Every structure is written in structure tokens, then in C-alpha cells.
Amino acid sequence: MQSKYPAGRLPEPPNPIADDGDETRFCGTCAFSSACIAAGYDKPELAELQCLVEHVGPFRAGEHIFRTGDPFRAIYAVRGGTVKTRMVDKEGREQVLGFYLPGEVIGLNAIYPEHFPCDAVALDTAFFCRFSFPAMSALASRVPAVQKHLFRMLSKELGTASLLAGDHSADERVAAFLMDLAGRYAARGFSPTRFHLSMSRGDIANYLRLAAETVSRVLSRFRAQKLIGIEGRELELLDPVRLRAIGQALLPD
Amino acid sequence: MQSKYPAGRLPEPPNPIADDGDETRFCGTCAFSSACIAAGYDKPELAELQCLVEHVGPFRAGEHIFRTGDPFRAIYAVRGGTVKTRMVDKEGREQVLGFYLPGEVIGLNAIYPEHFPCDAVALDTAFFCRFSFPAMSALASRVPAVQKHLFRMLSKELGTASLLAGDHSADERVAAFLMDLAGRYAARGFSPTRFHLSMSRGDIANYLRLAAETVSRVLSRFRAQKLIGIEGRELELLDPVRLRAIGQALLPD
DNA sequence: CGCGGGGCTTGATCGGGATCAAGGCGGCGC
DNA sequence: GCGCCGCCTTGATCCCGATCAAGCCCCGCG
């Protein structure tokens, strides 16, 4: 659990931050940025966007952003930190649905049921932009770019959901998982070859439908084969080309 | 491949049907019915809806409604028949993504990439309502009910995509598959306890990430246990309560 | 009519990954 | 400091479902 805070200093409990004085900077990596820019920082729509967005956080590792069954009122864009979504069945078994990095959006799967169908749990200290969904829908009716953006985000997530579907070997899954993360970090301007895994081996395993021991073994083998460097949760991709080849059946293109 | 047509008589090649004189009847089972009704059959919006919808079909078993890579211009509501969507990787291995029954909609996962990411193949003789997506988006901007309906359909499909994700036994998967189909037939007004499986054992197995032999064995065992009656592709659910219990980990609620 | 092919079923064997088990490492509280 | 606990790694064994194999049924076709 790395923290961006000095050791011992606990961050504030989660609550809206009316204005952190830094919209433009973090918005550059945000999934909504193009919608926000389309709405126009210099146009009247900006005022409306400001009304419907709230900055919330920080949440610390293990804290819930929302819980299964909570009424759906808003979607959340990750501003910083990492989140996992998960379902817990009635026998208490956890099922990890996805990991979300800065700039990505959680809560879209709650629109239809009108209640969150899963938990969202912070994996490290995390911050969010909270968008009231009724307000967002109303805005989308008036601003086609916002509507288009929502459609695209929903459709995009449909595509990623079907990635996990296939029956593939543990090697393929792990390689594809690492390359997927790398691509998503790259898309947000982070290094695609060196990054920190915010999630435990157990979470990775659960997400990939493997046992934690299997993930551990595969990572060890990849290290022995000089495909990656890994120490704890610090990862370096040493041979992205070969990794991509291993995971290709699960990766786009 | 059973056909609804007299043997030997080939149906017309797929093409738009301007008016089959029966909108109200088939629209009752259509996924868009609430949106259509909201738009109002007695209001000016009806005219716009009529402009953006085309009736296409019939497609015969094995024919493609769209193919991977086709430019995305429209979504399709199934009016009659059954469809599978599938991806084919570069080694030629097929991956079945889903089955679609009358009243359900295909093509939503193409919005983001702007090209269809999968094939849609008719499993029996099938008909569709084809909705131009640009026109649909424009209409959604003016008619909130249409926009809401699109959001809900997208979100709903997100939920079903995560159903397959878990690592579950063959029994659980097959039981959940049968109960899911039953529920969807029931929602459209068909019998939930007796229906025809339009897809082969191989397709079911591929969809559930099992081998065809495994599906066959599970179905035989379910029959021996008096959970189902099955002969070829004709299915009867004899003990839905127990089936639901077996598949519960994969089923909603 | 015989033939061939695809879909389905059933039996036998095999293997990848789950599970069980043990031990190491590091952080934290007392 | 010490002990505890969670996370991670590595080894040994087991089991479910894949794979290989054979045969059946049905149907279309020469």
C-alpha cells in the first residue's frame, strides 16, 4: 500500500471538495475530458458541468466508493489511485470484475438496474469526480458531444468485458493482463513499461479466474524467461513484444 | 436447421421491407417497444422513428447480419429468429459472445470502435428492425425516453457480460444457461418451460467455455436426474427450482 | 439404394491448474 | 525487541473437464 501522503498523516475522510483549484491539470487525464472540453471551459455549458460534478475523496485502501445495492445516482471518474469492482455471492465468495485507473469511469453498469450491482473498493488512496447521472443525462440531451461520449464509454466497456470470456491458458491470461494495464497506463501518459501493481496477487488471480498460486508461478516463470522484472508489486516489462505475442488471443488487434 | 418455410422454397434474399403491415404486433415483443411507445405512435415523433427504422430479412441459418470490421451504421433489434455473435481470432478459432432472441438488440458493442468487433450469424430464419444509429442518436437528443432507453440497454448488456466471468463448474454453467434462456423467453411472452434450442451443442459449449462433449454429458445427466426433458434440441424444464439452485452463483438474485 | 457428412452421445485417457501444505518475508502493534 | 498476520512463493498431489476415439442417428444427395 504505497501512499502519496507522509507516513502517519491520515487523509481527511471522504467528502466533496468544492474546488481543489486544479481542474485543468487533472482533467487532462480524465475520461470525461473530451466531453468537458466539448462542453467548453469558455462557454455557458461549463457552469452546468461544474454544477453536476463533485470532487470526492480521498478514500484509503479498502474503503468503499459504493456498495452493492446502493441506489444509483452518479458515476465516478477516477482522478487518482486505483479501484477494483467486485461482486460477492451469497456464500461470500468474491468475484473481481475489473480494475480502474486514473481517467477511467466506474458505475456505468448501475444505470439499468438503478442500483449498484457491485462494490467499488479503493486499492490505494483514491480520488474521484462524481457526476450526478440525472444531471448528466439532461446535459447529454442538450450537448450531443456529451451524449456521444456516454454512448462510447458504455460501448467500450462492453468490449473489454468480452475479453475475459475465452478459455485461455494461465500464461495467456497473465501476459494479456500485463499488456492491457500497460496500454491503459500509456493512454493516460504514464510509463507503459514500469508501473506499480496496486492490486494483490489474489485480486489479479480472482480477476483472471486463476488461483493466486498460479499467478505467482506464472510471474516467476516470466521473470526467469526475462520477459518481465518484478519485485513485490513493482513491475517492469522487459520484452513487451514477446508478452504481446503470448497474450495476443486476448488482446485487441 | 429447422425452417419455417416449406421445404425447397427459398425465402427472398435479405433486403429492407418498407412496410409489413404489422408493426404493432411484433413491436410488442421488441426491445425498443417502450421507446417507440414513448415516442408515441400518435405523435409527430412517430414519423421520425419510421424514418430511421428499416425492416430487414429474412436471413437464413448461417447467413451474416454483419461481419467483423463492417463500418458501424446501425443497431439491429431481432424481430424473429435467433442470432449468435462471435469473434474469430487469427488462428480461426471461434468465440461465441452471445445468443439473441426476439426483442433483443445486437450491435451495441460497435458504437465505440465504430466498426463491428464481431460477426452476427443467424441460427435460424431471422428478421430484424434496423435502426440507423446517427438518426437514433439525434432522436435521443430530442426525446429523453429514447436516450434513457439506449443507456439502459447498454448498461443491461454490461451486466450480462459479467455473468460468464466466474470460474464455475460445468453443471453450474449449463443450469444457469438454461434458466437464463427460460427467463428471457418468459420476458417476451414465450413458454419458459418448453422451448427449442436454436443453437448446436457446439455453440452452447463454446459460449460457456466448455467442450461440446461436456455439454452433452451434463445434459444427459440432467435428464437422468429428471431435471429436464431433452430430445435433440427440444427442451423441457422439469424442475426449474432445482436448476435455479444449481446455477444460482451465475444468476441474478 | 448406398454413401457421406454433420451433429450428438458415450467411453477412455490425459493434463493444466486447483488445492493442500509449508515456509519466507515484511509491516505493524504491543 | 518480539510476535502476529497478511501476502507471496514454491513444492506435491489431485481432479475436472479437455481431448482422443468410436459409434449412432438423421438427412440430403448421387
What does the pLDDT look like over B9-39, one tens digit per residue? 333 334 433 344 455 555 666 666 666 655 5
B contact set with A (CB within 8 A): 87, 89-91, 93, 95, 97, 108-113, 117, 137-138, 140-142, 144, 147-148, 150-159, 161-162, 164-167, 209, 248-249
In a domain, A124, yes or no: yes
Examine the domain organization and report whether A91 and A157 are in the same domain. Answer: yes
Domain boundary pick from B93, B127, B161 = B161
CATH of the domain at B208: 1.10.10.10
**In this predicted structure, what is the pLDDT of residue B92?**
80
Examine the domain organization and report whether B25 and B146 are in the same domain. Answer: yes
Examine the domain organization and report whether B181 and B143 are in the same domain. Answer: no
Reply yes or no on whether the pLDDT at A67 is more than 70.
yes
pLDDT digits (tens, 9 = 90+) for A119-134: 999 999 999 999 999 9
Examine the domain organization and report whether A37 and A114 are in the same domain. Answer: yes
Domain boundary pick from A115, A135, A161 = A161
Lowest mean pLDDT among A10-19, A120-129, B61-70, B200-209: A10-19
User: What is the spatial distance between Cα B158 and Cα B141, in angstroms, rounded to a whole number?
Assistant: 23
**Strand blocks (E) in B19-134:** 53-59, 64-66, 74-80, 83-88, 94-100, 105-106, 119-122, 126-132
For the beta carbon of residue B96, count every other beta carbon within 10 angstroms.
21
Examine the domain organization and report whether B135 and B201 are in the same domain. Answer: no
User: Distance, in angstroms, between B250 CA and closest chain A CA?
Assistant: 9
Domain boundary pick from A140, A161, A182 = A161
Return positions of chain D under 7 A from a protein CB.
7-12, 16-21, 28
Examine the domain organization and report whether A39 and A145 are in the same domain. Answer: yes
**In this predicted structure, what is the pLDDT of residue B164?**
79
In a domain, B100, yes or no: yes
User: What is the spatial distance between Cα A127 and Cα A13, in angstroms, rounded to a whole number?
Assistant: 11
Reply yes or no on whether the pLDDT at B222 is more than 80.
yes
Examine the domain organization and report whether B23 and B148 are in the same domain. Answer: yes
H helices of B143-235, in order, are 144-161, 170-187, 201-208, 212-224
Q: Which helix (H) or strand (E) holds A175?
A: helix A170-187
User: What is the spatial distance between Cα A213 and Cα A208, in angstroms, rounded to a whole number?
Assistant: 12
User: What is the spatial distance between Cα B38 and Cα B185, in angstroms, rounded to a whole number?
Assistant: 24
Examine the domain organization and report whether A104 and A211 are in the same domain. Answer: no
Total domain count, chain A: 2
Range of the domain at A60: 15-161
CATH of the domain at A124: 2.60.120.10
Examine the domain organization and report whether A143 and A189 are in the same domain. Answer: no
In a domain, A137, yes or no: yes
Using the structure, give the distance in angstroms from the CA atom of B158 to the C1' atom of D26, rounded to a whole number.
40
Q: Which of A99, A147, A153, A154 to mutate to test the interface with B (most CBs of B within 10 A)?
A: A154
